[in-house]
Structure 1
Amino acid sequence: MLNRSGLGAANLLQRAGRRLGFLTVRELLFHLPRRYDDLREMRKLGDLPFVEEGTVVSARVRVADVRVEPSFRRRIQRTIAEFEDETGSIEATWFGRRCIERRLFPGADIIVSGKLKHFGRRLTLDNPDFQPVGAEGEMLHVGRIVPIYRLTAGLTAARLRIAIREALDRAGIHYAEYLPASIRAEQSLEGIARALEDARRRQRGRDSARPIAVDEGSDAGLRGSLTGSLGRKLARDVALTVDQDRAIGAIRDDLARATPMLRLLQGDVGSGKTAVAAWALAAAARSGLQGALLAPTDLLARQHHATLATLLEDVGVPVELLTGSQTAAAARRSLELVKSGQAPVVVGTHALIQERVEFAALGVVVIDEQHRFGVEQRGQLEAKAGGHAPHVLLMTATPIPRTLGQVLYADLEVSDLRTPPEGRIPIRTGIRHPDNLRSTWERVRDEAALGHRTFVVVPLIDEAEPAAEDAAEPTIFDSSAPAAEAESVRLRELLAPLRVGMVHGRM
């Protein structure tokens, strides 16, 4: 039992441990991380304004000031520290964390790791962890690959890491082996003590992926199944484009390596990115691993689910859906299938990165509209691959500056889909002044008479407020920019009796 273990830090966890389900030292040792945060890269404070908000960063800084203030809630104190280095300064804020001011003092050199957030107009580190400079070999909370555990009320991450570290040092190294030496040798398995240690440190092996080997026969079969499914859907013969063939070949080579794939698949809407992604997901499923496709909206996730279910039907790979709009029963069923490994491919929204989602063996992650997801969100899904990094395929029609930076610094391989699929209708682009749209709306009526639909895309959901004359900063949109709510009302009157619907991200 923890209260009789002789471990000082572990003895303090009795109440919290009961809520988390560990009452013995053995259960504490087997309380494994749910993900890992890589905090090894040290940033300069002057570079942080250019880092995406929500990113967890590390920096080597000097404490300039520490103060304690009352928060909006009277009983919860707020501790604020100011850090500086040779490039700039930043504030760190802790809410309800007592005794921080006793561990920090002006002039101390520390390594700090925390999430970047905006507090008003200031950039701040939210509830960061820190340790003194000079103890790099004993870092638990910063400056390394840090294990992230499931917590409960009254238990901080730092306190739990200290208790687990003590348990590993004093009890883990003596943990009795329960697998015969012959089996461990035959399966190339580590001893239980080393495995428990590696599960926390994750300094080696975390950067390796499970290789997915696809021989030429299986490759040809997968491509044939995809084109066959597409042909039935379109009621005509279909062949992959030259660019699709080339992209699949590059992905096949990437998957065969132990180095995790990180490839960007870019192409215009309708260029065939989903078919290429379907090949990668099917390859993972055929090898006994799982594939996940992350979409930014519920609508897009459902579209991908329907498309992939059709494309992978001939391959015999079922596709599950997991979104926030599902009923509790449907979500529970999907979660159970994903956890058990009976869902070889799952499509979802941000619901996929929730803590309750557990994969049996995640091997390939496909992220659509990659510019719509932050680095941390993508990392949360990738961390669900357990002891191995997953192969990652990013898809976009609109690369962003951060993507260009990754390409320039060789962090990201790129496959372009420039050749349009056979039978695709050519795109014509025209520019009209807002006062000269009469012919456009007549064309809309003509298309509706033929049973076709028209999409009108506007930059705002609600109308923008006019900028104040004394505004310090200009607004992004002019107050005259069209908004979805108002434009839908106007078009219902203009195009009556045609039906005009409205869709936006807050629905």
Structure 2
Amino acid sequence: MGEEATAVGEVTRAREGRVGRHGRRILEVVLRDPGGVLLLVWFHQIPYFSRRLSPGQRLVVHGKVEPPLGAAAPRMIHPEIETLGPDEPVAARVLPVYEKPTEMHVGAMRRIVHAAVEEFADRAPSALPAEVAARQRLVDLPRALRHVHCPAPEADLEALGGSRSLAHRSLIFDELFFLQLGLALRRSAAGQEPGTAFPRSTRLVLALRARLPFRPTGAQERAFTEIEEDLARPHPMRRLLQGDVGSGKTLVALLAALTVIEAGDQAVLMAPTELLAEQHLETVRPLAEPLGVEPVLLTGAVKGRARRAALAGLGAGRIPLAVGTHALIQEGVTFGRLGLAIVDEQHRFGVLQRAALQRQAGERAVDVLVMSATPIPRTLALTLYGDLAVSTLDELPPGRTPITTRLCRESRRHEVYARIREAAATGHQAYIVYPLVEESEKSSLRAASTMVHELAAGPLAGLRLDLVHGRMKADEKDGVMRRFKAGEFDVLVSTTVIEVGIDVPNATAIVIEHAERFGLAQLHQLRGRVGRGQAPGHCCLVVPDWTGEEAYQRLTTLERSTDGFYIAEADLALRGPGDFLGTRQAGLPPFRVASLVRDTALLRAARDEALAWLARDPDLSAPESETVRAVLRHRWKGRLGLAQVG
């Protein structure tokens, strides 16, 4: 059970039926061989398979074997199938298994890929320098493509299945080499840019430290030392400050801002939403004002005289610290002497925003500190943020109340609602999170907009409920969040829009429905919405009764640990980097064969080879780099940012 398998048998029955609350169509086919019975199940393309399959046919089927439901046979859902003639022998051959990007049948996909390999494999240019390929013992691209897509019958199945064959290794190394080459060029370009060297603060930082009612953690001290060293260099800082929810990133960022302000420059702190910008201001103002540093808020909501005063003060260089949203980098906003931009990472601060900030700073390069509350595993940080140095806050300040998390099957949901009523009875608030905004014909998942009415009329009758989701306009969402923070209602029913840093210290319980649909890192972010005040926080992860053992065990990681870095590593190992953060959002070329979890050794080797090649030919202008340069440009497609190539 739970393993991929291939079976040969005869169809004894094929019937259509309906299942679930919405009466979803389903096709069930019974396949029998001398050893027993297997149930083949389809939820899609039912008319096609109904026409194609009938009793008496012989089939070869391949797929994951799922446990039986009730007394039925083991199941294979959406298996790959091939029909056999009455006496046709099963030919021994090695077939590649493809992840399906569409609903196209796998057999059809295999035929298309096979035709493409026959037609185009020999035209694929091997761009890796010959000496690198020889040192790493790799085969050329055409041979690698043929071996991966059309393996010989005697090929090593285990090596192919685990992407460890020589052909796989060659394709993976090729991909990682060009990734590391691009990142190294971006890094070196930033390192050559002239910037401002800010001396160590001798007044404001010491004054703030003296006023703090607690001692910063060792991790905060270490991170600030690294930032201070970056600021002192005559090149612009490009640093990522990552740490779990509540690890004290804002204090470290404020210390950096004070260093720049003391030297006579300005600093900005940018957040992804107006509400978060206001929360940052609430945190920063009581710390900065007593030192004579008056922060100003600039968001889309700041209008009239206040806006004009803020713009004039920033343009003249009189206002040392601005807190706001992307409104800070819009046309019409200028800075007298902008020295440091601190950016909340959820803002997805890319090359374009960096360029916009640069425009506002005029000729001077701006130092950039990116903050992230999503702890990023080391291998991923090296890759996704290859052009940023990384500081990590891996300690929580003393006095933080840990959140207790427990898994709950759907049939025991009444206990979850009892917990919410308990929280409301003691004057606290709660969140209930759903994966969808609206229910759909194609899915049996519960949805926020439907459930808010069902809950208000049923199990949570008498409590005050409201709804927030991603399809609402930004000001509507903000309005709901503000009313919740002000305590105007007890339960906020939402989708994952609340994942981004809303701070409601009075919220002590969060229920996440269909928890099996979320990644571990996302669930960890969501549960970080509670336990932000004095009262302990509780998180319930609700899963359907039929959730498989594997998915259930994956979620127990959250019951066992509240360490964001441990959870991030587990999530990366389970789901791979594509789902973890989305490479597109990091401005990287998408991965085709490499896995940052599986291929860490190759990633390091590719990095070393890329750095060695650039040490020899820093701007890839030598004749032997001509093909390397062309392929690099093609794969990165304008994402190299400031890097100069050739």
Question: TM-score, with normalisation over the residues of structure 2?
Answer: 0.41
Counterpart code for 2:196: R
C-alpha distance in 1 between matches for 2:384 and 2:351: 18
1:305 aligns with 2:281: yes
2:341 and 2:369 in contact (8 A); partners too: yes
> What CA distance in whole angstroms lies between the structure 2 residues aligned with 1:435 and 1:222?
53
% identical equivalent positions? 44
Aligned: 1:207 with 2:183: no
Of residues 438, 441, 451, the one that matches 1:463 is: 438
Unaligned runs of 5+ in 2: 1-122, 126-188, 477-646
Deviation at 1:464, TM superposition (A): 5.5
Q: Is the Cα–Cα contact under 8 Å of residues 207 and 388 in structure 1 kept in the other structure?
A: no
Q: Which has the larger radius of gyration?
A: 2
The CA deviation string for residues 310-366 of structure 1, in whole angstroms up to 9 with x for no partner, is 221222211111111223333222222211222211111121121111111111111
Distance across 1 between alignment mates of 2:334 and 2:191: 20
1:376 is the counterpart of 2:376: no
Alignment equivalent of 1:492, drawn from 451, 456, 480: 456
* 1:427 and 2:403 correspond: yes
Amino acid at match of 1:422: P
Residue number in structure 2 paired with 1:69: none
Task: Give 1:409 shift.
Answer: 7.3
Which deviates more from structure 2 when the two are superposed, residues 448-457 or residues 402-411?
402-411
What residue is the counterpart of 2:466 in the other structure?
501
Residue among 394, 398, 417 paired with 2:374: 398
Distance in 2 between residues matched to 1:394 and 1:490, nearest whole Å: 41
Q: Is the 8 A contact 1:365 1:382 kept in 2?
A: no
Deviation at 1:243, TM superposition (A): 0.6
SS at match of 1:320: strand
* Contact kept in structure 2, 1:370 and 1:394, CA below 8 Å: no
Q: Please tell me the residue identity of whatever aligns with 2:197.
A: P
Secondary structure at the aligned position of 1:364 is classed as strand
Answering whether residue 268 of structure 2 is matched by residue 292 of structure 1, we say yes
2:316 pairs with 1:330: no
CA deviation digits over 1:364-401, x for unaligned, max 9?
A: 11111346344322432243222121111111122579
C-alpha distance in 2 between matches for 1:256 and 1:384? 22
Structure-1 separation of matches of 2:446 and 2:359: 41
C-alpha distance in 2, partners of 1:487/1:329?
A: 43
Question: Cα–Cα, structure 1 residues 484 and 283, in superposed 2: closer, same or farther, change >3 Å?
Answer: farther
Structure 1 counterpart of 2:210, one-letter code: G
Q: Does the C-alpha gap of structure 1 residues 315 and 384 become closer, same or farther in structure 2, counting only changes over 3 Å?
A: same
State the SS of the aligned residue for 2:290. Answer: coil
Aligned-residue offset at 1:215:
4.2
Q: Give, as a single letter, the amino acid of the residue that structure 2 aligns with 1:211.
A: A
* 8 A contact 2:241–2:390 mirrored in 1: yes
Q: Displacement, 1:249?
A: 1.1
Equivalent position of 1:139 in the other structure: none
Partner of 1:53: none
Inter-CA distance 430–256: structure 2 relative to 1 (3 Å threshold): same
Kept in 1: contact 2:219–2:395 (CA 8 A)? yes
1:224 matched to 2:210? The reply is yes
Amino acid at match of 2:408: R
Q: CA–CA distance in 2 between the matches of 1:435 and 1:372?
A: 39
Distance in 2 of aligned mates of 1:348 and 1:408: 26
Q: Secondary structure at the match of 1:363?
A: strand
299-308 or 206-215, which deviates more = 206-215
Alpha carbons 1:407, 1:413 under 8 Å: kept:
no
Alignment counterpart, residue 278 of structure 1, candidates 236, 254, 258 = 254
Q: Structure 1 residue 499: deviation in Å?
A: 1.7
**SS in structure 2 opposite 1:451?**
coil
- Is it true that 1:346 corresponds to 2:322 in the alignment? yes
CA shift for structure 1 position 274: 1.0
The residue identity in structure 2 corresponding to 1:249 is: T
Aligned equivalents of 1:404, 1:411: Cα separation in 2: 12
How far does residue 208 in structure 1 lie from its aligned partner after superposition? 2.0
The 8 Å contact of residues 212 and 284 in structure 1, kept in 2 or not, is answered as yes
Post-superposition shift, 1:405? 5.8
Counterpart of 2:625? Answer: none
Q: Secondary structure at the match of 1:398?
A: coil
- Structure 2 counterpart of 1:268: 244
Residue 251, structure 1, aligned to residue 223, structure 2: no
In the alignment, structure 1 segments of 5+ residues that lack a partner are 1-84, 88-202, 232-237, 468-478
Using the TM superposition, give the Cα deviation of residue 291 of structure 1 relative to its aligned residue in structure 2, in angstroms: 0.7
Q: 1:459 to 1:224 in 2, by over 3 A?
A: farther
Report the CA distance between 1:411 and its aligned residue: 1.7
- Taking the aligned partners of 2:347 and 2:190, their CA distance within structure 1 comes to 30
**Cα deviations across residues 133-156 of structure 1 (Å, max 9, x unaligned)?**
xxxxxxxxxxxxxxxxxxxxxxxx
Q: Considering fraction of residues, name the structure with more helix.
A: 2
The answer as to 2:450 corresponding to 1:450 is no
Residue 361 of structure 2 corresponds to 385
SS of residue matched to 2:424: helix
Secondary structure in 1 aligned to 2:233? coil
The 3 A distance-change label for structure 1 pair 374 and 335 is: same
Structure-2 change in CA distance of 1:435 and 1:209 (3 Å): farther
User: In structure 2, do the counterparts of structure 1 residues 401 and 418 end up closer, same or farther at CA, with 3 Å as the change threshold?
Assistant: closer
Q: Whole-Å Cα distance in 1 between the matches of residues 373 and 215 of structure 2? A: 22
* Cα distance between partner residues in 2 of 1:399 and 1:382: 28
Q: Distance in 1 between matches of 2:221 and 2:327?
A: 32
Aligned CA RMSD, in angstroms, stands at 3.0
Tell me, yes or no, if the aligned pair for 2:236 and 2:366 is still in contact at 8 Å: yes
The 1:358/1:371 distance shift into structure 2, 3 A limit, reads closer
For residues 313 and 341 of structure 1, the distance between their equivalents in structure 2, rounded to whole angstroms, comes to 17
CA distance in 2, matches of 1:370, 1:244: 21
Distance of 1:206 and 1:384 partners within structure 2: 21
1:191-221 per-residue CA deviation (whole Å, 9 max, x = no partner) reads xxxxxxxxxxxx9999222221124565433
Q: Secondary structure at the match of 2:401?
A: coil
Give the TM-score normalised by the residue count of structure 1.
0.51
Q: Within 5 Å, give how 1:223-242 maps onto structure 2.
A: 223-225=209-211, 227=212, 231=213, 238-242=214-218
* Distance of 1:380 and 1:458 partners within structure 2: 36
* Partner in structure 2 of residue 314 of structure 1: 290
Give the letter aligned to residue 261 of structure 1.
M
- 2:204–2:258 CA contact under 8 A, matched in 1: no
Once residues 254 and 205 of structure 1 are traced to their aligned partners in structure 2, the CA distance between those partners, rounded to angstroms, is 11
> How far apart in 1 are the matches of 2:326 and 2:421?
38
Structure 1 residue 278 displacement after superposition = 1.3
How far 1:410 sits from its partner (Å)? 4.5
Cα 1:346/1:217, change in 2 over 3 Å: closer
